[in-house]
Structures are given as structure tokens and as C-alpha cells.
Amino acid sequence: MDGKSLPFTSDQIEQIAARYPTPFHIYDEAGIRENARRLVKAFSWAPGFREYFAVKACPNPYIMKVLKEEGFGSDCSSMAELALAERVGITGESVFFSSNNTPAGEYVKARELGAIINLDDITHIPFLERCAGLPEVISCRYNPGPLRGGNHIIGHPEEAKYGFTREQLFDGYRILRDRGVRRFGLHTMVASNELDPDYFVDTADMLFGLTIDIHRELGIRFEFLNLGGGFGIPYRPEEKAIDLEYVSAKTRERYDATIRAAGLHPVNIVMESGRMITGPYGFLVARAIHRKNIYKNYIGLDACMANLMRPALYGAYHHITVLGKEKLPRDHVYDVTGSLCENNDKFAVDRLLPEIETGDILVIHDAGAHGHAMGFNYNGKLRSAELLLKKDGSVEMIRRAETLDDYFATLDFSNL
Ligand SMILES: *Cc1c(COP(=O)(O)O)cnc(C)c1O
């Protein structure tokens, strides 16, 4: 048995592939909307709850538009992401600008949009003041360092390049207060792809405690707390998705015991998740073009790590379904490869799958976050198209595939 379900049938994909050649990414609009609503509903108790979608996970304006319709803002961290949000009509305080090592021009753009700026370092206070002026509302990113245990992707907080130390945070807010900033937020992001729900409750609790300490010392009342992103998704069929209702209920208990008890209610609770918003609802669809049997057995696809590099980059597991063979036994062991001249260009290593013939369509699951977005052009590989499977079952191309002309667009051959 396959272990993971799909929002489309084998026949549907064959029809789509007749129109849009493989490989392509396809996103499930109904799934994205339903998941977005589940998140908002779970946290409906929280004052001013808002999710700012971390654009880097899936920087496609059509996906951002769907999420805007669900009430989400955008979490941006670069000039291009700010520009994308602007093009989708997401501006002002619907944009959370959480960057690091930020170039001056990006602060200028963020100020122009009226975005909420989240500072990554205490030295960014005078830097921002010089290049764009201090806004009325500001947030700072907290790095708890050794006060907090690690997470396998982001690593131990004390090894992470992000954020203020605890001491710097107090100094930073004091400076900001004295320079006339009037509205304050506090941010942290200490996990990535974390599946332990209690990790998120502990993170919220950590910020609640800090909120009280900062209020006590500086008299600052936070308007919002940004719990960051980092919700994991079950890439493996045997993994369990985060129970949002559990995280929400436990967070609420902590909120009442800390913020409310200290008389600091209401503080808005916001998030900036990326992976869990689109990850499970995107699929990389590719065709087997070669079978090669040497010391191991290989299935070569018409996609490569330019379309999805997580397996090559992190050794990440992405589930694979061979369309039309979902019910067949997984009794063949394959490496599923791309065509890059890099031996790590593999979607799966020693994977048990049903017997695969050339021409079979393989669907690689959970490619909706950090999939197309991480694409690159090494070896002259071109990025694939992105399609949206709409609520009514129709399909819209929301980004065409790259062509050689795109690849060569920055070259001037006339001076050769
Ligand atoms: C990547 C990132 C996010 C989103 O993280 P996910 O793991 O995709 O939820 C949020 N905030 C910041 C600052 C990030 O860098």
C-alpha cells in the first residue's frame, strides 16, 4: 500500500501532463485553504491571531493570493519577497519583514511598504535609523542561546546566527523606547520542521515569560508576540502531523497563567509559518525516462534536484507514489535519480517501490514548500512550471517552465 493520499487521480494527471509536459509542480488549492482555515480556527481564542505566510516556502503570487483571501499576511525576508507581496496587494502591517544581515535597500523598501520590521540584531537599530528612520512599530528577534534545547534543522540556538541575546534584547528595547518607538512586538524562531507539539508550547511560554520580564524592567507592553514558524510536516507516512488543537489549547493555558495573570492581556499572537502552510499540498510530478541496472538499480526521472533539492541538500525523505501502481506491493529497491552530474542528485536512495517501467509517472509528495522555490540552474537545468489545481478541479498554470532563452537572458552573445 502507498501510505499517502493524493488530491488527483492517475487519469487526471495523464490529462494534465498531455497539456503541460512533465516535470511540473502542482498545488492543491482546496487542501491549502482547508489547512489555512484549520490553523485560524485552532487559534481563534488568541487575541488578534494572524498568520504571516513565510513567502520563501512558496514564492508564487497566485498561492500568496489564495492565502491573502484566507486572511494571511506575508512574512518576507528579501527585496524580491517584499516586491512580490506588494504585487499581490499585501502591504502595510500585513507584511512582516523578518530578515537577517539585511541590506539597507531592503529596510528602505520595507519602510516604504509600511511593513512591520523585525530586527535581527541590536546594531540594526542605528543602521535602520540611518537608512530609513525608525518606524512607530518595531519587533526584535530573540535568540535564547543555551537557555533553549536544539532542533535538528535549525540546530542549537547558540550556534544559530539569528536574533538578539537576552541581555541585548533588554538594551535594544530600552534604546527603541527612548528613541520614540511607540508600539512593540517580540519574535522568536527556534525550530524548523519540528514535529513535537510541546516544543511550540514551550516556545510560546518562553515568550510569555520574557514579555513579563521586559514589562517589569522597561515598562513596555507588547502589542504582539510572533511565535515564528517551524511547524514540521509528516514527510514520512508513519509520522504524525502536529496537533494544532493541542498546541493551541496548551498555549492558551500558558497565556492565561502568565500574560493574563500578570495583567498584560491582550497581547496579539501571530505566527509566520511556511512549510506547514503549503508543504503537504504541493507535488512534483515527473516521468521515468530510464531504468538502469548496474551495481544498484536506478530509475531516472525527467526532473532533477533543480526541481526539488531537499533530498540532496538535507538527505530529506520525500514520499514517492508511482501513479496507477498505488496498490501494488513495494517490492523493488531503487535509487530514483535526476540527470545532474552530481551523485547526490537523487530523490530517493534504496527506496522500496513497485516495479517501475519507463513512461510511469512518479509523484513526489510534500514538495509545496522549499521545492520549486529552492530551484537553481546548475548544469544548465531549467526550473519547471507550477500549476494550481483549483477548487473546481480545473488547472491553471501559475508559472511557466523556464526556457533556454530565460537561462541565457543575462548573457550578451553579440560581443563574442
Ligand atoms: C523560514 C522562516 C520561517 C518559516 O519557517 P517554516 O519552518 O517554513 O515554518 C519563518 N520565519 C523566519 C524568520 C524564517 O526564516
- Compute, in angstroms, the gap from residue 128 CA to the centroid of ligand 1: 22
Q: What is the pLDDT of residue 147?
A: 78
Which is higher by pLDDT, 2 or 369? 369
Q: What is the pLDDT of residue 152?
A: 53
Axis crossing angle, helix 104-113 with helix 79-88, rounded to the nearest 10: 20
Considering the chain, what is the average pLDDT of its residues?
Answer: 96
Q: What is the pLDDT of residue 150?
A: 60
Q: Residue 26 belongs to what H/E stretch?
A: strand 24-28
Task: Indicate whether residue 247 lines ligand 1 (CB < 6 A).
Answer: no
Q: What would the pLDDT profile of 41-65 be if each residue is shown by its tens digit? A: 999 999 999 999 999 999 999 999 9
Task: Give domain limits for the chain.
Answer: 10-25+280-407, 29-278
- Compute, in angstroms, the gap from residue 229 CA to the centroid of ligand 1: 5
Q: How many CA atoms lie within 13 A of 122 on its CB side?
A: 13
Q: Which of 373, 368, 283, 382 is nearest to 340 (CA)?
A: 382
Q: What would the pLDDT profile of 232-272 be if each residue is shown by its tens digit? A: 999 999 999 999 999 999 999 999 999 999 999 999 999 99
Task: Indicate whether residue 76 lines ligand 1 (CB < 6 A).
Answer: no
Question: Residue whose CA is closest, atom 10 of ligand 1?
Answer: 229
pLDDT > 70? residue 154: no
User: How many C-beta neighbours within 10 Å does residue 115 have?
Assistant: 29
Measure the CA–CA gap between 353 and 321, rounded to whole angstroms: 8
Q: What is the pLDDT of residue 153?
A: 52
pLDDT > 90? residue 402: yes
Residue to probe by mutation, ligand 1, list 39, 51, 56, most atoms within 8 Å of CB: 56
* Helix, strand, or coil (residue 409): coil
Average pLDDT over residues 324-352: 97
Q: What would the pLDDT profile of 89-146 be if each residue is shown by its tens digit? A: 999 999 999 999 999 999 999 999 999 999 999 999 999 999 999 999 999 999 999 8
- Range 311-316 contact pairs with CB under 8 angstroms and sequence separation of 24 or more: 311/346, 311/347, 311/348, 312/342, 312/344, 312/345, 312/346, 313/374, 314/153, 316/235
341 is catalytic: yes
* Position 155 confidence tier, pLDDT thresholds 50, 70, 90: low
**Considering the chain, what percentage of its residues have pLDDT values greater than 70?**
98
Q: Are 345 and 338 in contact (CB under 8 A)?
A: yes
* Architecture in CATH of 10-25+280-407: Beta Barrel (2.40)
Q: What is the pLDDT of residue 361?
A: 98
Burial (0-12, 13-18, 19+ Cβ within 10 Å), 376 = exposed
Question: Residue whose CA is closest, atom 13 of ligand 1?
Answer: 98
Q: Residue 24 belongs to what H/E stretch?
A: strand 24-28
Measure the CA–CA gap between 332 and 183, rounded to whole angstroms: 60
| CATH class of domain segment(s) 29-278 | alpha beta
Q: What would the pLDDT profile of 286-308 be if each residue is shown by its tens digit? A: 999 999 999 999 999 999 999 99
C-alpha cell at 122: 541590536
DSSP annotation of 194 reads B
Q: Which of 273, 287, 370 is nearest to 323 (CA)?
A: 287
